[in-house]
Amino acid sequence: MNDLFLSMFVSAILSGTIATMKDRSVILWTILSVVGGPIALAVIICLPSRKVATVATPVQSLADEIGGIADLRDRGVISDAEFALGKAQILAQPVPAPARAAAQPRMPNRAAAPVRSIVDEIHGIEEQQERGLISNAGAAQRRAEILARPVPSAIPSATPPTPTGNHKRATWDTYQPAVRAGFASFATQHGMEILWREEPGLEIACVYPIQPRLSFAINLGLEKGTIHVWGEGWVLDNRDLPSNEVGLPSDLHAGLNALVEGNGRLVIRTAFHRTEPFWVSLQIYRGGRWRTAEYQGGIPFPPIWRSVRISNRHDDHPGSPADSVQAKDSAILL
């Protein structure tokens, strides 16, 4: 009997670990291993992994792009005026983020967005024209559309007007003005610097970098009516906006205010031998105790974890009763 229980326990531990590595349900396979023992373990070993491999997207240099459209001009595919317009578009493409911004962790499980190449798009139109798929007039019109696209600005442009799930008349891009204003207003409210940036999959993204009033960087992003907040080693995903007139959800806004002002903290719990946290909580110190404003949680596997608590420390807020509680709690290792 003892051997049977030992076999079930070992199978459950191994199945849960393998399920985590293969991005499958840890709870489901742990239960199946308790019931099925080595049989369930053998099944999870044979199943393929659900993790998607990230493939780096090749990036053409500015010189290559300009040389490509110069070749198109020399071959008579585009006119001198179109060459000048295309060159202006290429030179206006966003440059890579500075080293400090690049060091910020990217949001997990986000596929890299393909880099737009004007030359490749025009080559594609030329190939369709040669195969008779489009007429000369159609090719000229499509080239004009490509070269007339808005030049990227310091603030990422709006995504196509996709209908939202809440209202057929609303589109996701209608959320952008209020959110952009909300992100900027938050920086102004606390006298902080804000850097607009581009993040694959997000319509708007910004970072409040480390500065005199902020001891760690905070990133904010908008994706189809939801707000993402993340920083080094933590993520709060999918904070839904109640409408397209709201820049930040009220609970999230209150939590971030407290965090910047020194009356809030982040509690991050990471399972043993894991790198991504299974629990992130944004808390406010109020009425002599910590109260959770926002959280994102899961089930740890294995059920052993460590807790890290982060608070904002700067000259205006060198210490508070909240800090003393934090200092005591930060020594706990679960």
Provide CB contacts within 8 A for 331, sequence distance 6+.
none
Q: Would 164 be classed as within a structural domain?
A: no
Shared domain for 82 and 12, answered yes or no, is: no
Structural domain including 209 reads 172-329
Take residue 94 and report the two structure tokens written for it. Answer: 């966003």
Q: Are residues 40 and 138 in the same domain?
A: no
Q: Is residue 166 part of a domain?
A: no
275/179 same-domain check: yes
Q: Which of 106, 131, 147 is the last residue of a domain?
A: 147
Q: Which residue has the tokens 């009425």?
A: 287
Domain membership flag for residue 36: yes
Same domain for 33 and 129: no
| pLDDT on residue 84 | 80
In this structure, the answer to whether residues 187 and 282 fall within a common structural domain is yes
pLDDT for res 274: 84
| Local structure of 288: helix, strand or coil | coil
Is 258 within the bounds of a domain? yes
**Cis bond leading into 114, ω under 30°?**
no
Q: Say what angle helices 2-21 and 26-36 make with each other, to 10 degrees.
A: 150
Per-residue confidence (pLDDT) for residue 329, from 0 to 100: 40
Residues 40 and 79 in one domain: no
> Are residues 227 and 294 both part of a single domain?
yes
Scanning the chain, the segments in alpha helix (DSSP H) are 2-21, 26-36, 38-46, 62-74, 80-91, 99-102, 118-130, 136-147, 176-189, 250-261, 321-329
Q: Is residue 73 part of a domain?
A: yes
Q: For the segment 271-302, what is each residue's pLDDT rounded down to a tens digit?
A: 888 888 989 999 999 888 999 998 888 888 77
pLDDT score at 154: 37
**Residue 191 shares a structural domain with residue 314:** yes
pLDDT of residue 42: 79
Same domain, 208 and 177: yes
Q: Give the pLDDT of residue 199.
A: 83
Q: Are residues 279 and 319 in the same domain?
A: yes
Mean pLDDT, each 10-residue run in order, the chain (334 residues): 69 77 75 77 75 47 73 83 76 50 42 55 77 76 67 40 48 85 92 89 91 92 91 87 88 92 92 87 91 87 86 63 39 35
pLDDT at 1: 56
In this structure, is residue 282 part of a structural domain? yes
C-beta contacts of 36-39 below 8 A and 24+ residues apart? 36/11, 37/7, 37/8, 37/11, 38/7, 38/11
The reply to whether 222 falls in a domain is yes
Same domain for 85 and 142, yes or no, is yes
- Please tell me the total count of domains within the chain: 3
Are 200 and 237 in the same domain? yes
